[in-house]
Amino acid sequence: MSKLTAGGRFRKALEETNPLQIVGTVNAYHAMMAERVGHRAVYLSGGGIANASYGLPDLGMTTMNDVLEDVRRVSSAVETPLIVDIDTGWGGAFNISRTIKETIKAGAAGCHLEDQVAQKRCGHRPNKEIVSTEEMVDRIKAAADAKTDDDFFLIARTDAFQMEGLNAAVDRAQACLEAGADAIFAEAVHTLDDYKAFADGIKGANLLANITEFGATPLFNKTELAENGVNMVLYPLSAFRAANQAALNVFEAILRDGDQKAVIDTMQTRMDLYDFLNYHDFEQKLDALFKEGKNK
């Protein structure tokens, strides 16, 4: 039997897990930890890449190559399939086509492509602008046509719910599915009833809920979401936010106290770090190589 591609591994995880939880991992090490504890899909947020890798706000300021660098790092470190935020695709049809091809080459299992204008904003902020349904459909067609792996999972993200209401958002989502999208990412949905209506409107097609903290969507439980038609649940920046607060606490304690004793209990130990990295396996291999060299 031939080995599944990254896209194939994602589709297998989605088929076997309902709902499939997809956790944000802002770097390769976080992805390794998520994989070790049993998560079956990981995610790179465009906002997370901008924030963590470049110190920029989530305002469409990063490039395709900026994102691909982090995609390669994560996909090289884990077998767990990776979903990537490609924002608006970085241009017109030819740019979107190139983005899809390069994202597959970099090892991603899938991506989501959104319907905001190129000068995009965070999906949970005011004053967003979206393109017409026709333009979004053209984006999805370009992306679907560019796939070099049939199993690469293409998600159409729409911000239309917050901008134009449920019916318009459902109509747009259905058009995206007909254009070749494998799933719908309904951004900034407010209630479980809205998710149920959305799922019914797209006739039970794959539906992703973005359960991000401090945003427009409550922190619904995965069981609640599954009962209302959602089969993918995304947690884009949960671990990143927790790590940021932990780091801030350490920086402040060291400055205040002159040492890190008060926060040592909040840190991952050296041995746990080594365990996730399989450090000792590398060290033993190094020892064996040096021993062989000495015996020659």
Show which residues are catalytic.
43, 58, 85, 87, 112, 114, 122, 157, 187, 210
> Do the annotations mark residue 224 as ligand-binding?
no
> Do the annotations mark residue 157 as ligand-binding?
yes
Pairing of strands 207-210, 232-235: parallel
Q: Tokens in use for 124?
A: 């949970």
> Do the annotations mark residue 8 as ligand-binding?
no
> Do the annotations mark residue 98 as ligand-binding?
no
> Do the annotations mark residue 270 as ligand-binding?
yes
> Do the annotations mark residue 123 as ligand-binding?
yes
> Do the annotations mark residue 210 as ligand-binding?
yes
> Do the annotations mark residue 122 as ligand-binding?
yes
Residue found under tokens 């492509």: 113
CB atoms closer than 10 angstroms to residue 183: 23
> Do the annotations mark residue 92 as ligand-binding?
no
Collapsing DSSP to helix, strand or coil, 259 comes out as coil
The answer to whether 42 and 84 have CB atoms below 8 angstroms apart is no
The answer to whether 108 and 70 have CB atoms below 8 angstroms apart is no
> Do the annotations mark residue 256 as ligand-binding?
no
Q: What residues contact residue 285 under an 8 Å CB cut-off, 6+ apart?
A: none
CA dihedral 188, 238, 87, 3 (to 10 degrees): -120
Helices (H), 17-92: 28-37, 46-48, 54, 64-77
> Do the annotations mark residue 60 as ligand-binding?
no
How would you class 119 by CB atoms within 10 Å of its CB: exposed for 0-12, middle for 13-18, buried for 19 or more? exposed
Q: What residues contact residue 18 under an 8 Å CB cut-off, 6+ apart?
A: 226, 231
> Do the annotations mark residue 47 as ligand-binding?
yes
Q: Tokens in use for 256?
A: 């205040």
What DSSP line would sit under 130-148, residue for residue? B--HHHHHHHHHHHHHH-S
Q: Tokens in use for 139?
A: 């984006």
What DSSP line would sit under 75-101, residue for residue? HHH-SS-EEEE-TT-SSSHHHHHHHHH
Residues within the annotated binding site for Mg(2+)?
A: 85, 87
Residues within the annotated binding site for substrate?
A: 45-47, 122-123, 157, 187, 210-212, 241, 270
Residues within the annotated binding site?
A: 45-47, 85, 87, 122-123, 157, 187, 210-212, 241, 270
